[in-house]
Amino acid sequence: MVRSLMYSKFRDVMGNEYHFHTHSDEGGVARQPVPSPHARRELATCLVVSSCPLRRAELRSAAQDAGWETMVCDDADSARLAVRRYRFQMAWVDTGSFDDAADGEEICQGLAWMDHVLLAVCGREGDVQEEIWARQLGVWLYLPGLPIGQGAEIQMLCEQGLLLASRLQAAC
Query: Residue 127: which region, alpha, beta or left (left: phi > 0; alpha: psi -120 to 50)?
Result: beta
* Residue 43: band (very low, low, confident or very high) from pLDDT cuts 50, 70, 90: low
Q: What length is written for the chain?
A: 172
* E strand or H helix that includes residue 20: strand 17-24
Q: What is the pLDDT of residue 14?
A: 45
Nearest alpha carbon to residue 88 among 32, 13, 28, 142: 32
Q: What is the pLDDT of residue 12?
A: 45
Higher pLDDT, 87 or 7: 87
Domains of the chain: 43-171 (3.40.50.2300)
* Residue 101: band (very low, low, confident or very high) from pLDDT cuts 50, 70, 90: confident
* E strand or H helix that includes residue 23: strand 17-24
* Residue 29: band (very low, low, confident or very high) from pLDDT cuts 50, 70, 90: low
> Half-sphere exposure of residue 105, counting CA atoms within 13 Å on the CB side?
14
Q: Which amino acid is at 69?
A: E
Q: What is the pLDDT of residue 160?
A: 96
**DSSP β-bridge partners for residue 9:** 19
Q: What is the pLDDT of residue 78?
A: 95
* Residue 27: band (very low, low, confident or very high) from pLDDT cuts 50, 70, 90: low
Average pLDDT value for the chain: 81
DSSP 8-class letter at 146: P
Q: Is residue 40 over pLDDT 90?
A: no
* Residue burial 38-55, b: 16+ Cβ < 10 Å; e: rest: eeeebbbbbbbbbbbeeb
Cα-based distances in Å from 33 to 10, 17, 19, 54, 161: 10, 11, 7, 24, 19
